[in-house]
Amino acid sequence: MQQILNPLAAHIQTIKYRLIVIGATLLVSLIVSFTFSGEMVAWLNRPFPNQLVFYGPTEALFASIKVSFLAAILASMPVIFYQCWKFIEPALLPKEQRWGFPLFALAGALFALGLIFCNLIILPLVIEFFVSFGMDHDVTPLLSVGTYIDFNVKFLLIFGCAFELPLVLTILARVGVVTGASLAKYRKHAIMTALIFSAIVTPDATLFTMLLMAVPLMVLYEIGILGAHIFGQGGPNEISLPLDPDLPMGPAGERVR
């Protein structure tokens, strides 16, 4: 029993240590980011022609905290990925460990690409559409900073996560969960899922914003199909990614290094 508890206690201590490192990094990044919250709010305010207002004593403060927390997450990503990698590294084989850093780096790059795409293309289109619609109906646009920042942050996080889809599909194909052919077969179901998902997660339920979310998802799904064809089991590029299903197993069910 003592032999079982010792590794368990070691794992718990390791998790606590790495969570403390991540939490401390986020806290420091949040404090530093908060000093530049005004500039970040002004950056997000680019597509909106008027000055933002606030209707409550704490609204501007919480809006600054939200945008600072988003910036803190982005700034802390290298540390977060590194701590996650060092936690799972001992459980991987040497050839799997070689693919750990590239996969984490690719995941971070895709997330950043999703944020850039959303900030430079999607958000200006959405904001211009709604502001123009209101002005065409003789309504003066007067947006509160809390609502506006909340709208932007939600869109940014959603698109950042959505851009991980090709990588997820490629890894699932590599470990044999799905194939490129099966993904292509259920393309219609994926399109319907993308539309439903977009209607649920977008901050407003209009058809315009739903399509702005669903169309990139469909394109990302097609990229995932291509990645599944190229890197999936039996594909032309035989690359040993993590979670190889053909790894030898020991008598206790543990993988043999």
- Does 32 fall in a domain? yes
| Residue 106 tokens, joined | 């690719």
Rounded CA separation 142/87 (Å): 48
Digitized pLDDT (tens) for each residue of the chain, 257 residues in all? 445 557 677 778 888 888 999 999 999 999 999 999 888 988 888 878 778 888 888 888 899 999 999 899 889 988 988 888 888 777 777 776 777 778 888 888 899 999 999 888 888 888 888 788 777 777 777 788 888 888 888 888 888 988 999 999 888 888 788 888 888 888 899 999 988 888 887 766 677 778 888 899 999 999 999 988 888 765 544 444 444 545 555 544 455 55
> Which position has the token pair 């991980």?
164
Structure tokens at 26: 């986020």
Which of 69, 46, 26 is closest to 148 using CA atoms?
A: 46
- Tokens for 208, please give them: 């315009």
Q: Are residues 144 and 173 in the same domain?
A: no
Q: Is the same domain home to 69 and 181? A: no
CB within 8 A of 74, min separation 6: which ones?
112, 115
- Residue 20 tokens read as 């403390």
Is the domain of 149 the same as that of 176?
Answer: no
Two tokens, residue 236? 């032309």
pLDDT of residue 254: 52
* DSSP 8-state code for residue 144: B
Nearest to 68 by CA among 42, 47, 108, 40: 40
Residue 240 has which token pair? 């040993």
Q: 158 and 169 share a domain?
A: no
Domain boundary among 163, 197, 225: 163
Query: 14 and 133: one domain?
Result: yes
C-alpha to C-alpha distance for 224 and 164, rounded to whole angstroms: 10
For residue 80, the enclosing domain spans 2-163
- Same domain? For 19 and 133 the reply is yes
| Amino acid, res. 84 | C
Radius of gyration of the chain (CA): 22
pTM of the model as a whole: 0.76
> Six-digit token pair at 14?
């390791």
Indicate whether 128 belongs to any domain.
yes
Nearest to 163 by CA among 122, 128, 135, 132: 122
Residue 250 lies in a domain: no
Domain count, the chain: 2
Q: Is residue 133 part of a domain?
A: yes
The sign of the dihedral angle between the CA atoms of 243, 248, 253, 256 is: negative
Co-location of 56 and 117 in the same domain: yes
**φ/ψ (deg, to 5) at 46:** -55, -45
Asked whether residue 245 is assigned to any structural domain, the reply reads no
Measuring CA to CA, how many Å separate 31 from each of 34, 43, 64, 67? Answer: 5, 19, 11, 12
169 and 157 belong to one structural domain? no
What is the DSSP secondary-structure string of 104-141?
HHHHHHHHHHHHHHIIIIIHHHHHHHHHHHHHHTT---
Spatial separation of the C-alpha atoms in residues 254 and 150, rounded to whole Å: 46
With beta carbons less than 8 A apart as the criterion, state whether 89 and 97 touch.
yes
